[in-house]
Amino acid sequence: MDTSNPAAFVNAELLHFYVGRRVRALTQVVRSDGGIVIGKSTDEKQLVVKGSPPPAPLTTFVEVFGIVNNDKSITPDIWTNFGDAVDMVSYNKLCQLAHGEYKHLFL
Amino acid sequence: MAAKSLTHDAVSTLIANPSPNSSSVLPEIVVQVLDLKPSGNRYMFNASDGTKKLRAILPSNVSSEVHSGSIQNLGLIRILDYTVNDIPNKSEKYLIVTSCEPVSPALEMEIRSDGSRDEGGVKSEGGAGILLKPKQEVVTKSAVQILHEQRGNSAPAARMAMTRRVRPLVSLNPYQGNWTIKVSVTSKGNMRTYRNARGEGCVFNVELTDEEGTQIQATMFNDAARKFFDKFVLGKVYYISKGTLKVANKQFKTVQNEYEMTLNESSEVEEVAGEASFVPETKFNFVQIDQLGPFVNKLELVDVVGVVKNVSSTMSIRRKSDNESIPKRDITIADETKKTVVVSLWNDLATNTGQELLDIADSSPIVAIKSLRVGDFQGVSLSTISRSVVLINPDIPEARRLRSWYDLEGKDAAMDSVGSGSSPTSNTGIRSVYSDRVSLSHITSNPSLGDVKPEVFSIRGYISFVKPDQAMWYRACKTCNKKVTESIGSGYWCEGCQKSDEQCRLRYIMVAKVCDASGEAFVSVFNDEAEKIVGCPADELDDLKSQEGEDNPYQLKLKQATWVPHVFRVSVTQNEYNNEKRQRITARAVVPVDFAAESRIMLEYISKMRS
């Protein structure tokens, strides 16, 4: 298992800490057109993913692995469908804990 | 009124008639007592008529009135009999008051008729209580005089702010008593009565918010409660001072503040006139109905929004603690999670709001409720408390979303009670799988659990093993589920129904090994729960068992049951076996794991560990 470049769990608020680095973020897809997907992050802010999703249809909730660009959008690598019902609040709390007190457990 | 006022030019009148004849009728003479001081067993004072002063003596027969407090400094007395003498070697006169009667207790201050008697006529009244001095005078008065004026009960609030600076709520602390705050009442609780070792009492709280948004809870007991209950009106703004602060009891914390305030009888509460009263918009933090599980029996309050599906009539519940009867009404609400929950409305919410809801129930109104306690009646139930707020058809996005969902699909959708997914009736009562959550090691490490009466817990764990060669089931009567015996001839005899039946049903009675992160244990499982674990009824499993073949489907079925997570409701008892006490864990209910709810529970553990 390649642990050389772990992706940090982020919400919109934490993006700026990880510019240029690999992150993973859960987003609720709001709009998806022409190479860009706009979503709502787990902390209710806008998340922009600059890339086209794979041909398979996206479910309402998607987790994206990717690199954070300077403009706080994400260039995606991997798209994972999370289905139509996900507890965003738990994911958001996870982002906060993984970035804060328990960062050493994750990165 | 006239009797209470100073007699104009009383001093001149007294001097003009220094030795009145006791038989002559005296004019009304009322003077103010100033600078009252004892001299031997008599009292000296200055008698004032608002313009002039006259030195005076109250002889010993009148002294008792001073002692008793009916004659006070700054008070008014009516002179009934007197003599005016000259002071030897001086041009002054002095008054001996041989008989008088008190007219009024101490006034706020010395009354002066400084030639402004024409203005408003208030001055010459000199009545007990406030002197509303005309505005021009304020400029010429000294600070001391202004402060004197403020002691009145109805001193306009503007003066309070003028001489006492209003401090922000955030700066209050228990070590500095001299403060005034300007706050609005953002929540007002009901008056509650209580009984404790010291007797009976009544109490109520209000939530106060200042202009910066800081909040604090203020509590009043007994006399103070009675005094201020009607004074505090939700939404109005008040100046408050002379309250006491102490560190807040976090268990009962309702607002974010390290301190809480107590107001007693000497505290001052004044309404700020002319301040627009406002009730701040209620802020909600909604929890979806199917997410209520983890909140059961916890102190944290929740907010919900849903479509009203049913409104009951008002019931009267007798409170055990003081035998008081309280009205209650149950409403059932549903949301997009297609789950329903019953909300119990109490007191005014039951009678007034409840009636409103009943009247419009047919229109499936949306209701948003703030500050509900989550209980475990029928699995999950909600209950209002004194500070709960109920909004009917509120103009908020969640309500609009619910409305469109309901109109499109909700009204015809099949709904489930949120509590029903948890635990069916069992002989331990209806409980939620979210209460009394423990780890397996908590049970196994404590062999004396359940020795007096069965103890009930909930557990989240995996089935780690189901032994294929165990007695998995028993033959049961199709009617009453009791064990049947093979009767002579054919068929089965049921002792309970006292009849024989050709056929019987197989019902599970088995032991499964359950494990979680802390340990493992054997759990006895009966029919309904075992069906959920194995995934098929016992009769079906029996069929599979009897099938011959390489890949025995029976074994396969049992294997498929392993490593599946469940949430169990278990009861722990003690059994004696060969003179040995053994712990027996029985599954009372099995439900699938709700990962979102479990995540919330884990987040709660984490926050408990951190604090």
Q: Is B606 on the interface with A (CB under 8 A)?
A: yes
Q: Is B291 on the interface with A (CB under 8 A)?
A: yes
Within 10 Å of residue B122's Cβ, how many Cβ atoms?
A: 15
CA B611 – CA B172 distance, rounded (Å): 25
Mean pLDDT of B242-265: 82
Strands (E), B325-444: 325-334, 339-346, 366-375, 381-392, 416-417
Contacts of B291 in chain A (CB under 8 A): 87
CB distance A87–B606 less than 8 Å? no
pLDDT tens readout for residues B488-497: 777 888 888 8
Q: Is B603 on the interface with A (CB under 8 A)?
A: yes
Please check whether residue B319 is in contact with residue B195, taking contact to mean a CB–CB distance below 8 angstroms. no
Nearest CA in chain A to B610: A101
Please check whether residue B447 is in contact with residue B577, taking contact to mean a CB–CB distance below 8 angstroms. no
Dihedral sign, CA of B553, B555, B561, B562? negative
* DSSP-derived pairing of the beta strands B519-526 and A22-33: unpaired
Q: Is B600 on the interface with A (CB under 8 A)?
A: yes
Within 10 Å of residue B93's Cβ, how many Cβ atoms?
A: 16
* DSSP-derived pairing of the beta strands B93-104 and B53-58: parallel
CA B97 – CA B48 distance, rounded (Å): 13
pTM for this one?
A: 0.43
pLDDT tens readout for residues B432-490: 777 788 999 999 998 888 888 888 899 999 999 999 888 899 999 888 888 888 887 77
State the pLDDT confidence band at B214, using cuts at 50, 70 and 90.
confident
* Residue linked to tokens 């006791």: B22
State the pLDDT confidence band at B143, using cuts at 50, 70 and 90.
low
State the pLDDT confidence band at B24, using cuts at 50, 70 and 90.
low
- The Cα-based distances of B515 to B351, B491, B509, B534, B543 in angstroms read 50, 40, 19, 16, 29
- The whole-number pLDDT of residue B149 equals 59
User: Is residue B318 classed as helix, strand or coil in its secondary structure?
Assistant: strand
pLDDT tens readout for residues B401-416: 999 999 888 877 778 7
φ and ψ at residue B598, rounded to 5 degrees: -65, -35
CB distance B603–A93 less than 8 Å? yes
Please check whether residue B415 is in contact with residue B398, taking contact to mean a CB–CB distance below 8 angstroms. no
CB distance A89–B600 less than 8 Å? yes
DSSP state of B114: -
pLDDT over 80 at A19, yes or no: yes
pLDDT over 80 at B549, yes or no: no
pLDDT over 70 at A41, yes or no: yes
Average pLDDT over chain B, rounded to an integer: 81
- The whole-number pLDDT of residue A80 equals 93
Least confident of B125-139, B344-358, B541-555: B125-139
Q: How many CA atoms lie within 13 A of B178 on its CB side?
A: 3
Please check whether residue B76 is in contact with residue B31, taking contact to mean a CB–CB distance below 8 angstroms. yes
Tell me which residue in B596, B606, B610 faces A87 most closely, judged by beta carbons.
B596
- The whole-number pLDDT of residue B129 equals 47
Q: Which amino acid type is present at position B114?
A: D
User: Is residue B78 classed as helix, strand or coil in its secondary structure?
Assistant: strand
Mean pLDDT of B508-522: 94
First-to-last C-alpha distance (Å) of chain A = 15
Q: Which residue, among A32, A33, A27, A31, has the nearest Cα to A45 in the 3D structure?
A: A27
Within 10 Å of residue B116's Cβ, how many Cβ atoms?
A: 15
pLDDT tens readout for residues A59-81: 999 999 999 999 999 999 999 99
pLDDT tens readout for residues B73-119: 888 888 888 888 887 777 788 888 888 888 888 887 777 765 444 33
- The whole-number pLDDT of residue B479 equals 84
Q: ipTM exceeding 0.90?
A: no
